[in-house]
A and B are shown apart, each in its own frame.
Chain A
Amino acid sequence: MIPQEFEYAAPATLQAALELLADPGARPLAGGMSLVPLMKLRLAAPEKLVDLRLISSLKSIRREGAFLHIGAMVTHYELESAPLIRQECPLLAAAAAAIGDVQIRNSGTIGGSVAHADPAADYPAALLALEARVQLTGPTGEREMTFEDFVLDTFTTALEPGELVTAIVVPIEAPGTGVHYQKHPQPASGFPMVGVAVRVRRENGLISFARVGVTGLSGKGYRARAVEERLIGGAASDVEIKEAASVVAAGVEASADIHASAVYRAQLARVATVRAIRASLPHAH
């Protein structure tokens, strides 16, 4: 219930934060919605917390050509409610709106969530379907990679020591893209037991574009390329949707816990995929 002692700093600039994070015992503090509960359970005990809340450059949301550049410290509530996000990247807004509860969304940030790499977080399904990119800034400068490459394993990312997630980059959704995020929440914690995000487009009545991102099913989120391939070029009839969805969990080692066995979790993944595809189709043309 009570965290261990730690030192604290709240730098005003990104540069100052990076200098503080050069100390191997230092960890960044974003919204705290993942880190603080872990510290209270004493499962995490950083010696020093570097609070990022005063760094205004991390709070911006802006258009950059065909993309939206979202600062790491933007909160889930800001993403669910900002007109720019709701219009230009509705799938991200939907995933943000599905997170936790109102209080958590008011505090939690996209950068914090992405850096934490919880296998049962909501964003990964959407970020994979969006082919999002992650911007990292560290002592040696800035670099960028796909979200897919960024998350390596459960709670493990490509972050180097002293490096911060500074922005998430998502595409501005082309008109005529149907999107949907279908979540089956774990009834106690609210985390997705399974979450599936879908983006589809149609041309001449056939699926011309499909992206399917899955979270919660296993140790790390993934793009269900097998589902995408089966959808593309088809008419997306009920039978075709079910057939495409049937392979969403193929070859994936599904997690198991007291809330869902591996078998049931895989079933939820298939159902969520069907429902996400069905729900996104009406807006796909």
Chain B
Amino acid sequence: MSTVTTETPTYVGKRIKRKEDPRMITGTATYLDDIKLPNMHFAAIVRSPYAAARVDRIDAAAALALPGVVAVFTGADLDDVGNVPCGVTLPGLRIPPHAILAQGRVYFAGHPVAVVVANDPYRARDAAELVEVDYTPQPGIADPEKALEPGAPAVHPEWPDNVAFVHKQENGDVDIAFAEAEVIVKQRMLQPRVVANPMEARGAIGDYRSAEGTLTLHSSTQIPHLLRSIAAAVLGVPEHKMRVIAPEVGGGFGCKADVYAEELLVCFLSRKLGKPVKWVEGRREHFQATSQGRGHVDYYELAAKKDGTILGIKLKIIQDIGSHQQLTTPLIPTLSVLMLPGLYRCKTFRAEVVGAFTNCFPTDAYRGAGRPEATYGIERIVDCLAVELAMDAAEIRLKNFIEPQEFPFATGTGLIYDSGNYAATLGIALDTVGYAALREEQRAARAAGRLMGIGIATYGEICGFGPSPYTPAGGWESATVRIEPSGQVTVHTGISPHGQGEETTFAQIAADELGVSMDDVVIVHGDTAIVQYGIGTFGSRGTAVGGTAMFLAIEELKKKIMKYGAMLLETEDVQWVAGRVVCNKTGASVTVAQIAAASYRALKLPPGSEPGLVATSFWEPANFTFPFGAHIVVTDVDPDTGDVKITRYVAVDDCGKIINPLIVAGQIHGGIAQGIGQALYEQMVYDENGQILSGEFTDYVMPKAANIPFIESHHTETPSPVNPLGVKGVGEAGAIGAPPAIVNSVVDALSHLGIRHLDMPLTPEKVWTAIQGSRA
């Protein structure tokens, strides 16, 4: 397949500052809460303080009596709106009905019970406090493993076993592998729930116009077109009369690639009241009612030979589903199974996922969506194997890596890894960190009583979502490229960036391909009335899939441009040279701008050509892409307090072709920061019934600048053969490599004390307690 055709790129590959930034650094970007519509009203939601309860009575009289309050609605009022949808099909999948307001029972702390609409947000909040609700609390359950035990409170009475689904996958003969194994290691691992916490929480404005029957939904979303289709169906609005606009979106990390009760609720309210209605999520509400990440209890078993060759893998995942199924909730752990073998050539495995209902808000996609979980597990269990065999952590990985000549590589889980050179990234990481010298230093440190650890994690990643048969709603992406009569370029992309920088990187690609200035290219996204149907931004697909669609549309346009150029130059003997069509014989040329003017003026058309210069491409990828990398983390553990200090962080990542190294570095740093958060600081804490204990930033530990070390970031570029850009994707890599590298490092620091595993987050107390326990 052809790669990017420009000979000497002006923009691609260069460190170029972003087109997005001027509006953001001047405070003039428009986020959801910045939008003011005429006669806009404000919704405040009354939420259940209980995780499990019957709702006996709701009395809104006092609330309605407040000046400025126009309405209060409860679950009894939802006559013309359906349920929050789940977009996944799995055999035996149980999907509890999920109304947008509670129907007589609440299932998680924060479950919406009533909604107040007022002409001012302060009054709406005052009124919400005055809505009286009587509950009969019931026993709830927050621990997914305990939820599956007999006798646990039933989250949904019709399913007393609390099983949401069971998913099994296997390959090869696992039982023989384990029977023949010379060594078997086993480990239970927890990957607690974490909260996405983009700095902009969610928000939505519903604007229904009854005279036309049109509905506009402004939402801080990653998936405007999918949201439109789904919301239109749930609300009974014809799809062509619905518009979704994603304004500037202040981060998402997967939690905004979903369809939520509140988005449907503001539409319902606007239609009922004939006014635009805005709901802005408070941070506490984000902890209560936005989908969360991870939530695994994993049982790993690894069978191997004494020389470190992995023979087989067994994995049981208990996935904390939560109370309901959000859009892709049950899909996420199945992605973990796909990524189970990591970078290793072993194809023999047996995996089982049991989804457990709990009285907590559902889990769903969060940066990496199933792949960080899988990488964490395989990298931890491989380290456990290394310790068992007294083998070096790097050596054991090198022994089992898929090698460059083996690509494309069909895994036992049904994936085909596109390209890779795993030993290369690990080698660079080992060299950069000075591995041999570090192990020496560690020996000396240990002798002096210091707890120093060196942790390695090598990861692979499923990105560039993806071939449509394997995605819930289609995995292709679209682009329309318009060369205007002036020669300037407008690109409409179906992806929906929220910090990833495609307004810049796509302009780089388009400008290079068309030989125009980047200043003459604008990238438009997020509005379904303007942009052709697209899938959205998640799964590190923006450039790999969306960028490719744009590239192919440009290729189409270039064919037309050549025809026009030949016509204007009155010869067939022409070639494309950096933004011009050039006559090979005379050197006479015409620019893209001149051709554009001619094509719209249409004084003369080339045979078989239409006027205008617009092309649309819908591109279906034949495969996912597979970024990979190696992270090495050096830690110092304070034996008196258990504090973990990262003294060095070396990341070597391969995201395929790099379009803008500044942006790639930012994605790596940000992903690693979230991985550090997960490994050392973050966990969503519920009591055993489902009461929220970590529901604000005063209790949920968000990493601050002083908590993140300097990251030494390096890259290899192994182009992906899946798309003509050679891009693999980089949005999630950091969050995948960091947690296992850090946990491996801390366990390594304590391994001489006999400690074999510690669960995330590695809080100082947990580490200190483990050290105390080992010395007992």
Contacts and interface: CB of A to CB of B under 8 A. Distances in A.
User: Is B one of A's binding partners?
Assistant: yes
Interface of A: 1-2, 4-5, 42, 184, 187-189, 258-261, 264, 267-268, 271
Given A188-B700, A264-B768, 18 more contacts: A1-B282, A2-B122, A2-B126, A4-B126, A5-B126, A42-B129, A187-B681, A188-B697, A188-B698, A188-B699, A189-B697, A189-B698, A189-B699, A258-B693, A264-B765, A267-B640, A267-B641, A271-B641
B40 interface: no
A187 B704 CA distance: 9
7 contacts: A42-B129, A258-B685, A258-B693, A259-B699, A260-B765, A267-B640, A271-B640
Contact of A2 (B121, B641, B685, B698): B121
Sorting the interface of chain B by its residue count into under 10, 10 to 19, 20 to 34 or 35 or more gives: 20 to 34
A258 B694 contact: yes
Chain A CB within 10 Å — which of B641, B693, B707 has the most? B641
Contacts of A42: 129
A42 B126 CA distance: 10
B63 to A, nearest CB: 15
B125 interface: yes
A187 B122 CA distance: 31
B769 A258 contact: no
B694 to A, nearest CB: 6
A267 B642 CA distance: 11
A235 B386 CA distance: 48
B702 interface: yes
B701 interface: yes
Nearest to B694: A258
Contacts of A260: 765
A259 B763 CA distance: 8
Minimum-distance CB pairs A-B, first 4: A264-B765, A189-B698, A188-B701, A2-B125
Contacts of A4: 126
A170 B129 CA distance: 45
Interface of B: 121-122, 125-126, 129, 282, 284, 640-641, 681, 685, 693-694, 697-702, 707, 763-765, 768-769
A42 B157 CA distance: 36
A164 B702 CA distance: 36
A2 B126 CA distance: 8
Given A2-B122, A258-B685, A268-B641, A187 B701 contact: yes
A189 B681 CA distance: 13
Contacts of A189: 697-699
B155 to A, nearest CB: 23
A188 B693 contact: no
Nearest to A274: B640
Contacts of A264: 764-765, 768-769
Contacts of A2: 121-122, 125-126
A122 to B, nearest CB: 16
Contacts of A187: 681, 701, 707
Contacts of B640: 267, 271
Contacts of B707: 187
A1 B641 CA distance: 35
A252 B641 CA distance: 19
Nearest to A4: B126
A1 B125 contact: yes
Contacts of A267: 640-641, 768
A188 B704 CA distance: 9
B448 to A, nearest CB: 16
Given A1-B282, A264-B769, A188 B702 contact: yes
A188 B282 CA distance: 18
Nearest to A260: B765
